Structure 1
Amino acid sequence: MAKKSTTPTKNKDKKSFNVFTYIKWFWILFATGIVAVVFIFLLASWGVFGEMPTFEELENPQNDLATQIISADGKQIGTFFRENRTPVLFEDLPDHVVEALIATEDARYYEHSGIDARGTLRAILFLGSRGGASTITQQLAKQLFTGGSQNRWERYLQKVQEWVIATRLERQYTKQEIIAMYLNKYDFLNQAIGIGSASRIYFNRANPKQLKIEEAATLVGMLKNSSLYNPRRRPELVETRRNTVLAQMAKYGYLSEKEKDSLQAIPLKLDYNPEDHDDGIATYFRQYVRDWVSDWAKAHPKGKDEEGNDMYFDIYRDGLRINVSIDSRMQKYAEEAVREHMANLQKEFLKQEKTNKTSPFRDISSEERERIIMRGMKNSDRYYVLKQQGMSDPEIFDTFTKKTEMKVFSWDGYKDTIMTPRDSILYHKAYLRSGLMSMEPQTGYIKAWVGGVDYKYFKYDQVNQGARQVGSTFKPFVYATAIDQLKLSPCDTLPVAQVTIPAGKHGVTEDWTPKNSDGEYAGYLSLKDALAQSVNTVSARLMDRIGPETIIRLARKSGIESDIQPVASIALGSVDLKLSEMVGAYSTFANQGIYTKPVTITSIQDSNGTILYQFVPETRDVISKEAAFVTINLMEGVTQSGSGVRLRTGPRDRYDFKNVITGYPYLFENPIAGKTGTTQNQSDGWFMGIVPNLCTGVWVGGEERATHFSSTQYGQGATMALPIWALYMKKCYADKALDVSKEAFPVPENLTIQIDCEEYKKTTEENIDVDEEFGF
């Protein structure tokens, strides 16, 4: 019998062994892979690949929050920030923002727990050609904790970290909170950190709730890459990306096809409102607020650190809310009024400068001109930077003589040009400056603050920094003191004749005989007419009778803190005062003799809404109600028959206003108390105007006192400053919601001083002048 062959059995066993081996090694490798993946995730969670956030950090991820400045009418007028972020709650997001985000970035967002397995598998199989796998939660993890590395292998390890952090975030927060955190964290560029800031900056929406669907789609489209999809630089690309987002919304049922088509047909429209520190509304006021709050924060610790040291608020990171007295509407009208008038006034000034050999200065020597230029160079940013770099003064000044490319200010917009830095100093010194401040006399609330014509180029604040000679606007303090002490009537008369203050009296070193601007010294004038016509000799007589010290005491009680020397010339306004002081002091007259300290910051809250500071009103009695009312009555005469009469009648034929003042005449019919002021050589033009619930002061002049008009035709306060007040008030009156008063000034009860001059004549046997009655 033949022996059976065993070869087939061996082959079969070998084949079986090979299959078994393959299966075994497959599972070994599979298990090893699983273990390796798990181990990698464990290593990541242990912080081997980089520091991982602690539980506390996940609970309170650190975000810099911008401090907001909120106006009295609830508008955000500025921010202080390192990152311009305004936090937004999920309930403050409109549905179409959330829908656009989910449809575009993470369609299965509500189905996963931080990692989208299907998306990850798809990304691996197709090597990312059909989209990435990052969920919204992973993107948030990247923003909060890992950032992004340009090194490929480091980025792979960061991805692992993001997966771990994403799962932890999903356990720590709700889906809604994660969406809000993600949109609050993203940098939309142009100082727009988070969707709250982006809504304001790109579309001028006070909050995301106001975003239209196409605007929401634009912002969501930017989430892919805000540098690439920048609507200011690549509007066509951004519009295409926006339409992709709208298509995704339609794909997932958030929009109908008809809605999608109509929205995609809308052109990209931005309403760009930058929030840089130099841009936007109330720039000078915001700088004042920054300084005030910074000083306040240094004096008010928010708590102690672990070592017992004081901790202080950081206005750039702690998300404070600063509530201010400024009304955004009135601020806007004030800035518009300054711009409208100053642009026209500047045209006339530059036209006259064409024949001025020492332009932009007058009445100075060449040596004085050089000193001004040298001072300008030493005060410039260029000098400071080069000095910090170790350059000597001669080396620095040499750079000022070399032409360079630069932007310069103009009323037609910033202009690119080539000139030497020295010439640019002269160029900008030729521009007239202006300041405006408006205040509620009864509350002290500052409603508008315009410190200059352009903060980017002219940072000196003419409201609160610049003290300039006030001229005749100081005369009401002289009259008010005399009325309060002597109970004078506006109808009482004084001689216009010249008066001489002898040397040794009232601080006069030699005999002083003031002159009237019109050269007239005959006859008598009532106090009302004398103030209306700003007659110097009458003011000097009043000062001589009551003394400069008494006038200064009234000014001090009215809030004026600048130095005032007790000399006779204060009767004509020889003192230098701030516009903010003048407005606060004039408001005393409108507030029935009670000074109310001006208020700018009404309260400060932390990011949780806790009140940290609340202003306390400060008031004091200055003069009697009667004296305050009579002073107001005197100043009403200025706008009825004096230098402010153009507010009423606007006599075009008296002045050449060709292309200088638009909207003239103004034709106000309501009661207005006011006073113009013009200083020597027309260096300063003032107008102080009061209605019962609003006191507004305006100053106009050059940065240097040598920069001025050649004559009073344009250089007087009635031409330089009064038109700004008029334009501002016209705009305020046109806005009925502001409720700016057109009523008469309230008359105090039991008024004993006669203000009706016709009645005054009837009740007086003869019109005895005050010179005889009171020994002037």
Structure 2
Amino acid sequence: MSIYLGFYGKLPGKEELSTLKQSEATQILDKDGHLIGKYYIYDRQPITYQDLPQHLIDALIATEDVRFYEHDGVDNTSLLRVFFKTILLRDKSSGGGSTITLQLAKNLFGRKKYSIFSTVINKLKESFIAKRMEDIYSKKEILTLYFNTVPFPDNTYGIESAAQKFFNKSTHKLTLSEATTLIGTLKANHSYNPRLFPERSQLRRDVVLKQMVKYGYISTARADQTMNKPIELDYQYFNHDLGLAPYFREEVKKELVKILEHYKKPDGSDYDVYNDGLIVHTTLDHKMQSLAEEAMKEHMQTLQKEYESSYGSTAPWKNNKALLNNAVTNLDSYKKLKEQGLTENQIKDSLSIKKNIELFEWDGNETKKISSLDSLQHYLKFLNAGMIAIEPTTGAVMAYLGGIDYRYFKYDHVSQSRRQVGSTFKPFVYTTAIENGMKPCSYFSTTEITYTNLDNWTPKNSDDEEDPYLNYTLEKALSNSVNTIAVKVLNKVGIPKVAEQVKKLGIIDSLSQEPAMALGTDGIRIKDLAGAYASYVNEGKAVKPYYILRIEDKNGNRIATFEPEVKETPAYSPYTRQVVLEMLKSTVEKGTATRLRTTYKLKNDIAGKTGTTQDNKDGWFVGITPNLVTVAWVGNDNYGIGFKTTTLGQGANTALPIFAKLYQKMNQDPIFDPITKSTFDQPSEEVKNDLDCKPEKRDNLLKRIFGKKKKNKKFGKE
């Protein structure tokens, strides 16, 4: 009576029980509706009774509550057994006597401690709640509530989340073996976790199958057939740090939080990303993303070995004391200790304490007993990467790699990092020149010039070769990424015009307004670079990469829909677009990106641009196909460390292979035919004629004798 009257806590009434609400995970779906991740406190994803296969229901009842359809929430026979045997006689083997409805009450309202009477009080409280629930809900509704709230292994709540996590499928597709495996975990969701303890889980699954035979739900033959097969998991990591596209999911979450600030629920309250069971449809292609991650890992694993080998015993992360000391002062742990007033020696002693730390390695992580200083030195050696692939007509992001491993490298190189873009900036200079009347067959000397009004700055070409009498057309200069000519073209067209052209392409970051901008010394985000390059296959219109298509509430009601942000007016003329695109095709056919053809044997229609920054700090590649624009970057997060040689560190060797390997994989799958088999439109006759000239020419004898080239000039004055 004391429990009924609420002396041990108020019992929920019928009104509260009629409006049960549980926190639900927000689901992140790719463009085709595949689940790629969740945001949650408790991983819960509700379903309806119609989604529950009969063998799943039968397995639950046979194992947990054989008289489910006969009792009114409390099985009195079982409860008496519990009272006399379990409580009075302390016989733990006699069972718990709990019904499905009682378990549901426990799942929904939890348990509290009441000294030595905890078991009795909690059981009786659950009995009152269970009876009230049986008065309100049908047996089908109780089963649905139960399956939506019951805890499974790995912090997973509800059968749908468990099915997706352990078998990568929806509940209604669970086989008998899969269903009984999950039901088997209910007895002890850690001890019978099939991921951690496969053998123990399989034995428990077989117990469930025998229970189903015992109570006539399946035949002995079917049970034996199932028991003869091992459990086959298809485990999905919806953990924030693991699984497919973790950097993309983090970026989507940031966008989602901002968007939801402008929307309210029907009752006027705010939406909660972690509890309201929202459904977020994104632009991502889960299959392309998977292939992109494979391509990146395959390449970076090999490149990292070559990178470390090239330095050998002279590696800066081992020998450069100034670099190491600077890196230490940037550590969060160092800053916290400094704020506490510790001296440099005290901080060093604290950071030198050894402890077990799991370290990232491409060949497999390993745990070592090392200090924070040792860990810092370990991570300084790693190259990182970023890549984005977008649909050029809309900006829809199809694949997104923010780094090499989100668990250890949280910094997102697609949306956060602004690295020098090197020669990938040059097409914007040439675009401006063509748009302002410069002819594609204009010739420029390859010779180096010292600009006396710029502290005697002398741009050099990467091959260190100079022929004072050799001249290239714009096409050859761009396709071979000639630095000296890029600066001369910038000088002729003018910095303000180039800056304005770049702004029209959606790159709104303030540029240096210095001559070196022609060589890509400004930092630009990967996603902004992709949006600008999209213009070359989108009628001259730049796009803004976007991630979210629409947001729905848990019932599928639309909250918000998003359209592509495409520049209304072209940034340049159709003539300019065609000319520059032909130049970028030439880069692949006979310029700095020819290894796409020679090494990787790609036959797709591809235009592109490589890029390498000073001292080989950044390697870039932009790959353009008619229906996909891809930008890849590789470098060390510590800007004090570059590649030892240009041969190893050039964009054609560091970033291009990620694109190449991705396309090799996509070429093997017909699902990507609309991308991989797409072809460029033919340029107009005018463009063909204007590009029809010798790619290079040498000065004639008279010009060599009487027209000696000046090697000293002032920038801005021809």
Asked if TM exceeds 0.5, the reply is: yes
Partner of 2:455: 510
1:104 pairs, out of 37, 56, 63, with 63
CA distance in 1: counterparts of 2:121 and 2:44, whole angstroms? 29
1:614 pairs, out of 547, 550, 561, with 561
CA distance in 2: counterparts of 1:730 and 1:693, whole angstroms? 16
- Is the Cα–Cα contact under 8 Å of residues 632 and 658 in structure 2 kept in the other structure? yes
Deviations 1:652-689 (A, max 9, x none): xxxxxxxxxxxxx2111222110101111111110110
1:247 is displaced (CA, Å) by 0.5
Partner of 2:505: 558
Equivalent position amino acid for 2:617 in 1:
S
Q: Secondary structure at the match of 1:354?
A: helix
- Is the Cα–Cα contact under 8 Å of residues 328 and 334 in structure 2 kept in the other structure? no
- Is the Cα–Cα contact under 8 Å of residues 191 and 275 in structure 1 kept in the other structure? no
**Aligned: 1:403 with 2:354:** yes
Equivalent position amino acid for 2:586 in 1:
G
Partner of 1:528: 475
Partner of 1:581: 528
CA distance in 2: counterparts of 1:119 and 1:258, whole angstroms? 31
**Aligned: 1:628 with 2:592:** no
Partner of 2:639: 705
Answer with 555-564 or 333-342: which moved more.
555-564
Equivalent position amino acid for 1:275 in 2:
F
Structure-2 change in CA distance of 1:472 and 1:565 (3 Å): same
- Is the Cα–Cα contact under 8 Å of residues 333 and 728 in structure 1 kept in the other structure? yes
Q: Percent identity?
A: 37
Partner of 1:271: 234
**Aligned: 1:292 with 2:226:** no
Deviations 1:227-257 (A, max 9, x none): 3323334333322211110011112222111
CA distance in 2: counterparts of 1:65 and 1:149, whole angstroms? 27
Structure-2 change in CA distance of 1:383 and 1:59 (3 Å): farther
Answer with 229-238 or 65-74: which moved more.
229-238
Deviations 1:708-761 (A, max 9, x none): 22111111111111111100111122221133143331246x663335744899
Structure-2 change in CA distance of 1:360 and 1:294 (3 Å): farther
CA distance in 2: counterparts of 1:445 and 1:390, whole angstroms? 49
Structure-2 change in CA distance of 1:760 and 1:401 (3 Å): closer
Q: Secondary structure at the match of 1:486?
A: coil
Partner of 1:16: none
1:541 is displaced (CA, Å) by 2.0
1:485 is displaced (CA, Å) by 1.7
Deviations 1:44-65 (A, max 9, x none): 4442332211334212223111
Deviations 1:440-480 (A, max 9, x none): 00121000110101111111111111111111110000111
2:220 pairs, out of 241, 245, 257, with 257
Equivalent position amino acid for 1:708 in 2:
G
1:389 is displaced (CA, Å) by 8.5
Equivalent position amino acid for 2:166 in 1:
Y
Partner of 1:33: none
Unaligned runs of 5+ in 2: 696-702, 708-716
TM-score (norm 2): 0.91
CA distance in 2: counterparts of 1:78 and 1:248, whole angstroms? 35
1:339 is displaced (CA, Å) by 0.4
CA distance in 2: counterparts of 1:369 and 1:233, whole angstroms? 40
Partner of 2:710: none
Q: Secondary structure at the match of 1:740?
A: helix
Partner of 2:176: 213
2:413 pairs, out of 462, 482, 487, with 462
Partner of 1:25: none
Partner of 1:594: 541
Structure-2 change in CA distance of 1:691 and 1:197 (3 Å): same
- Is the Cα–Cα contact under 8 Å of residues 153 and 185 in structure 2 kept in the other structure? no
**Aligned: 1:538 with 2:485:** yes
Structure-2 change in CA distance of 1:396 and 1:53 (3 Å): farther
Partner of 2:295: 337
TM-score (norm 1): 0.84
Partner of 2:363: 412
Partner of 1:77: 36
CA distance in 2: counterparts of 1:412 and 1:725, whole angstroms? 22
CA distance in 2: counterparts of 1:109 and 1:326, whole angstroms? 44
Q: Secondary structure at the match of 2:191?
A: coil
**Aligned: 1:371 with 2:371:** no
Equivalent position amino acid for 2:602 in 1:
F
- Is the Cα–Cα contact under 8 Å of residues 528 and 545 in structure 2 kept in the other structure? no
- Is the Cα–Cα contact under 8 Å of residues 588 and 606 in structure 2 kept in the other structure? yes
Partner of 2:681: 746
Partner of 1:243: 206
Partner of 1:226: 189
1:634 is displaced (CA, Å) by 0.5
Equivalent position amino acid for 2:308 in 1:
L
Partner of 1:764: none
Structure-2 change in CA distance of 1:563 and 1:228 (3 Å): same
Equivalent position amino acid for 1:355 in 2:
S
Larger Rg: 1
1:690 is displaced (CA, Å) by 0.5
CA distance in 1: counterparts of 2:281 and 2:354, whole angstroms? 45
Partner of 1:14: none
Partner of 2:27: 68
- Is the Cα–Cα contact under 8 Å of residues 434 and 451 in structure 1 kept in the other structure? yes
- Is the Cα–Cα contact under 8 Å of residues 85 and 184 in structure 1 kept in the other structure? yes
**Aligned: 1:733 with 2:667:** yes
1:406 is displaced (CA, Å) by 0.9
1:627 is displaced (CA, Å) by 1.3
Partner of 2:698: none
Q: Secondary structure at the match of 2:634?
A: strand
CA distance in 2: counterparts of 1:44 and 1:477, whole angstroms? 77
Answer with 407-416 or 491-500: which moved more.
491-500
Deviations 1:338-382 (A, max 9, x none): 100000011111222322153357xxx64344212322x2x3xx4
Structure-2 change in CA distance of 1:744 and 1:266 (3 Å): closer
Structure-2 change in CA distance of 1:396 and 1:76 (3 Å): farther
In the comparison of the two structures, how many residue pairs are matched?
A: 690
Answer with 561-570 or 420-429: which moved more.
561-570
Answer with 636-645 or 383-392: which moved more.
383-392
CA distance in 2: counterparts of 1:500 and 1:698, whole angstroms? 33
Answer with 590-599 or 735-744: which moved more.
735-744
Partner of 1:189: 153
Q: Secondary structure at the match of 1:613?
A: strand
CA distance in 1: counterparts of 2:678 and 2:107, whole angstroms? 58
Structure-2 change in CA distance of 1:246 and 1:755 (3 Å): farther
Deviations 1:300-331 (A, max 9, x none): 343666xxxxx321111111111111111111
Structure-2 change in CA distance of 1:460 and 1:524 (3 Å): same
CA distance in 2: counterparts of 1:180 and 1:578, whole angstroms? 47
Partner of 1:346: 304
Unaligned runs of 5+ in 1: 1-39, 306-310, 504-508, 650-664, 762-768
